[in-house]
Structure 1
Amino acid sequence: MSPSTDNRPRTLPFVVLVLSAGTFLMGTTEFVIAGLLPEIADDLGVSVADAGLLITAFAAGMIVGAPAMAIATLRLPRRSTLVLALVVFSLGHLVAALSSSFAVVLAARVVTALATGAFWCVGAIVATTAAGPAATSRALGMLLGGLTVANVAGVPLGSWLGQVSDWRGPFWVLAALSAGAAAVIGRFIPDEGRKEVPSVRAEFTALRQGRIWLTLSSMTLLMGGVLATYSYISPLLTVRAGIPAEAVPVVLTGYGLGALLGTTAGGRLGDRRPLATLFTAAATTTLVLLLLTFLSTSPVATVVLVTLMGVTGFAATPVLGALALRFAGSAPTLASGLGGSAPNVGVAVGSWTAGITLTSPLGQAGPPLVGTVAAALTLVPLTALALMRATRSEAPLPQRGAVADRSAGASMQDVD
């Protein structure tokens, strides 16, 4: 898994594609529940509101579980951690599919979230190590692309399967696919030998750097703003913009494709001009959400702006993830775990705040206004990063089993 010595590698290693397929499964299971809540509630004898706790429990599991599992699995070989995470992920879906108890299904969702957190924090390190310093953002963009494709294809397919069979159908399929993914990862990802024993103390010491917290704050604010808007996009489209309900999936597909384009473009640009990419993404996202607040009475403008929201909102994510790993130096695992938690914190707080505004005089314009404020606030930690000359890292991203290429690492240090 040695990185390419070329400053701008043309292709990413195969292991990055394999890990991206894993994140596709994780993203599908996180969001597919939203389309199956009535069926789950009816089958398990709970209200739809109570069934919604299955979404909340997963988000909470990610917020706490990603950093917790990063530490818990720190001394395990990374390949073993990835395989174990997928096996637990598969078993969690099997338990949920076989159970008739809401409490058991809820517990299975929490366990599944913990496995997702472990997979993400370790997978991000494996992918960026394999890609090398010159393609760190691109590798994370590919992993995030798996989550985005889950929204574009996996969630609609899972919802359709749940409608034609029952809600347990998608759980059976995800259990089978994740078991297969565990076998593939066990076959194609080499087992790295560690030259030194990972230190829990070193992981926490790395968090003393203010640059890491500024990066995580930027993740929380930007993704919180975008997803606060997205959480209530359906009433915005149908009530405020007057778009027919049957056309909403088409609009959301445009958003998903925009997000896929954003993560891809952000990953490519971020390796060369990280801060320029971040400032551009935050500023344009703020503008798009502000325009959406006032122009969402027009169906055409709304469709265009929702698609652009996906492009601009997700362009920063791979760059922020790459910087968090870089600033962590030789102890990146916990920083990677917190990078998985930060967006979920933003989602939880942002969607709660947006929900309050939805019942205020602002109505459907409230959520995009909340998103506008959050996206604008992202410029504060980004400005602090720029003033600290944040991308002039003392050392390139640590490479396991390979000597870091300093000339490639310089690409993440180049600032406009």
Structure 2
Amino acid sequence: MATDTEQTAPAPSRLPFVTWILAAGVFLMGTTEFIVAGILPETAEDLGIPVADAGLMITVFAVGMIVGTPVMAIVTLKLQRRLTLTLALLVFALGHIIAALTSVFPLILGARFLTALATGAFWAVAAVVASKAAGARLASTAMGIVLGGGMLANALGVPLGSFAGQVLGWRGPFWGLAVLALIAAVFIHRLVEPDPSGGPLPSVRREIAALKDGRVWLVLAGAAIVCGSSLAAYSFISPLLTENTGLPASAVPLVLLTYGVGALIGSNAGGALGGHRPYTVLFTSATMTFLVLGALALFSHNAVVTVILVGLLGLFGMSTNPILISKAVGFADHAPTLASALTTSAFNVGTAIGSWIAGLTLATSLGVTGPVVVGTAIAALYFLPLGFLFRKERLSPLRRRRVVEAPEEV
């Protein structure tokens, strides 16, 4: 009965309120993923470790998202989505409390991994809930809003966390995120609607079968590359700004704010425009991301140019994410949870590999410019999966037409 209702109900004319609730949860998740980039020197100094080692807090988090997102999507598949979102926020809070209480670096890395598992579970389910609630016509727009929570984290959460880390020490933001996550868990549990009853039970086999569509894997490759390019540079943006550009540490949060505002605008614009002209947005953003990173590698000694380029990196580097997730969910329409989870994992495969390689270049002659050079090289690869996906989607309607016309020819 509930399934029939879902199938025959008219598509919503506006975004449902749950979209904004999910965006608030993603805001917290996005803040914790990127906040380390803003307090990297303070964290390294307090723990008595090199900056490159402190950067492992970013890499480990990304690895946790890579492994945890699809695993948690399968483990929680038969749970109510509202319960999954609530439990994810509670575990998220626990991970931050552990990290804030200890000075043992391996334990901090373990807490970051635990937090990443919770984040992956939340993002995978939130994407499906938002997409289904909005309907096919508004799915890309809904994904732009939900992912915009992560972009708002860059615009507001990360700069505020960076400022708080400089004033209160790096543990202060971790305590703040733990408290906010506990509050968010209460709101999510009360305001997210329970799953409708009476429909077919979720099936792991059906979820895995949905991955046979080659377009899903091209989306995953694109997702990995786009995040790997942008975040290779962003993960080590703080030392670039203080050493190359010559800005004081107190100015770093303001530059991070520029990146975050650009990312917030890019995510929402990409989601809105992507529903109508997805490949125009994807190819334009790919080209501009490559050019912006190349320019940043060349002109990072100029403060004004660098700040502008950092803002443009956020604008173009994050504008494709809602389109990619929306396409992955659409290609796996009958079993979207694992496809959504793997897209989140793919984003973090790029983040982990990009930030790891970028960290290695700090010890080379490139110094703090190395991560930007790495990002530029990775960005050049984005056109490969994007081109194949465009060609595959253009050919699909032709193939379907031939199938329909074939019996008439016979």
- The answer, yes or no, to whether TM exceeds 0.5 is yes
Backbone CA RMSD of aligned residues: 2.9
Residue in structure 2 matched with residue 70 of structure 1 by the alignment: 73
- Cα deviation for residue 369 of structure 1 reads 3.1
1:324-363 maps to which residues of 2 (within 5 A)? Answer: 324-363=328-367
Residue in structure 2 matched with residue 315 of structure 1 by the alignment: 319
Unaligned runs of 5+ in 2: 399-410
Identity among equivalent positions (%) equals 54
More displaced 10-residue stretch of structure 1: 152-161 or 199-208:
152-161
Q: Deviations over 1:214-236 (max 9, x none)?
A: 00111111111111122233344
Look up the equivalent residue of 1:16 and give its one-letter code: T
Residue in structure 2 matched with residue 226 of structure 1 by the alignment: 230
Aligned length: 392
1:268 aligns with 2:276: no
Does the C-alpha gap of structure 1 residues 366 and 134 become closer, same or farther in structure 2, counting only changes over 3 Å? same
Residue in structure 2 matched with residue 250 of structure 1 by the alignment: 254
1:382 aligns with 2:386: yes
Residue in structure 2 matched with residue 157 of structure 1 by the alignment: 160
Residue in structure 2 matched with residue 296 of structure 1 by the alignment: 300
Contact in 2 for aligned 1:323/1:391 (Cα 8 Å)? no
Q: Normalising by the residue count of structure 2, what TM-score does the alignment of the two structures yield?
A: 0.86
Residue in structure 1 matched with residue 407 of structure 2 by the alignment: none
1:286 aligns with 2:290: yes
Tell me the SS of whatever aligns to 2:194.
coil
Contact in 2 for aligned 1:2/1:132 (Cα 8 Å)? no
In 2: Cα distance, 1:357 partner to 1:44 partner: 22
Contact in 2 for aligned 1:354/1:367 (Cα 8 Å)? yes
In 2: Cα distance, 1:232 partner to 1:208 partner: 37
In 1: Cα distance, 2:153 partner to 2:288 partner: 25
Residue in structure 1 matching 2:187, options 181, 184, 188: 184
- Cα deviation for residue 173 of structure 1 reads 2.6
- Cα deviation for residue 343 of structure 1 reads 1.4
Does the C-alpha gap of structure 1 residues 185 and 350 become closer, same or farther in structure 2, counting only changes over 3 Å? same
Q: Deviations over 1:122-148 (max 9, x none)?
A: 011001111111121211111221112
In 1: Cα distance, 2:108 partner to 2:355 partner: 24
Residue in structure 2 matched with residue 136 of structure 1 by the alignment: 139
In 2: Cα distance, 1:269 partner to 1:63 partner: 28
In 2: Cα distance, 1:60 partner to 1:283 partner: 27
Tell me the SS of whatever aligns to 1:389.
helix
Unaligned runs of 5+ in 1: 395-416
Tell me the SS of whatever aligns to 1:75.
coil
- Cα deviation for residue 71 of structure 1 reads 0.6
- Cα deviation for residue 238 of structure 1 reads 4.0
- Cα deviation for residue 360 of structure 1 reads 4.1
Contact in 2 for aligned 1:78/1:122 (Cα 8 Å)? yes
Q: Normalising by the residue count of structure 1, what TM-score does the alignment of the two structures yield?
A: 0.85
Does the C-alpha gap of structure 1 residues 336 and 153 become closer, same or farther in structure 2, counting only changes over 3 Å? same
Does the C-alpha gap of structure 1 residues 167 and 353 become closer, same or farther in structure 2, counting only changes over 3 Å? closer
Residue in structure 2 matching 1:25, options 24, 28, 51: 28
Look up the equivalent residue of 1:93 and give its one-letter code: H
- Cα deviation for residue 25 of structure 1 reads 1.0
